[in-house]
Amino acid sequence: MTYRTLHLEFTGEIAMITLSRPEKRNAISPEMIAELLTAFDEVEASAARVLILTGAGNAFCSGMDLEALKKLASQSPAEQREDADRIARMCLRIWSFPKPTIAAVNGPAIAGGCGIATLCDFTMAVPEAKFGYPEVRIGFLPAVVSVFLIRQVGEKRARDLLLTGRTIDAAEAHRLGLVTQIVPEKELMIAAQILAATLLSSSPVSLHMTKKLLCDFAAPEIDRELALATAESARIRSTQDFREGLESFLEKRAPRWSGK
């Protein structure tokens, strides 16, 4: 398949997906989500046993695309729910992918981009990488990612990150457990390849069954919480604060919150 927002390549038993919208800092669009899901299907059906994800240019993924954001306020309730469901499908697919996944975070990973980076089994990052969920600062809701984040860092730390919307550096992300290894920029892809080779030395059946078991432990709660999260993600889009937050962000001004 020909992709427009990413590149997919295979080298032996290693597949690599590169988010490829460098002029947009690899921002997420509906097209990118659809292509990511298709690429994951292609990798699963292939002989590849390990998947590496990275970003083109100086960013891993800066979050939602501005053009996509502009459309959110004018969407119908059905369209808003469909959009929330689309994001949930992407996150669930990354989290539950049956083959080991490695994120090679080469720059900022913000909002949905942070989700893509940290939902992988392993997250390697350059020291300059930034992570964060700034949704509350624009009147939005970090609903879907909260389902997974609370399991990764614990409730207290998840509340800190999600309620403040602050951006953290790679060192703090590593301390919190969102990043598994910090690697100098020139060594990032080499380190990812070395880790992939380590994984390839193990039994394919054992790796598959181990990951399936880990996912199965949490799957019932994940499914229930994602249903709640997507409903709340769609609901907040009908609020005045959401519309004001979105407008102020696009207009690059301070928001004037109404609390409604």
Active site residues: 135
Counting beta carbons within 10 angstroms of the beta carbon of residue 144, is it exposed (0 to 12), middle (13 to 18) or buried (19 or more)?
A: buried
- Using the structure block, give the residue that is written with the tokens 């432990």: 217
HEC profile of the chain: CCCCCEEEEEECCEEEEEECCHHHCCCECHHHHHHHHHHHHHHHHCCCCEEEEEECCCCCECCECHHHHHHHCCCCHHHHHHHHHHHHHHHHHHHHCCCCEEEEECCCEECHHHHHHHCCCEEEECCCCEEECCHHHHCCCCHHHHHHHHHHHCHHHHHHHHHHCCEEEHHHHHHHCCCCEECCHHHHHHHHHHHHHHHHCCCHHHHHHHHHHHHHHHHHHHHHHHHHHHHHHHHHCCCHHHHHHHHHHHHCCCCCCCCC
Q: Which two tokens mark 242?
A: 């959401």
Residue 130, token pair as written in the block: 């930034």
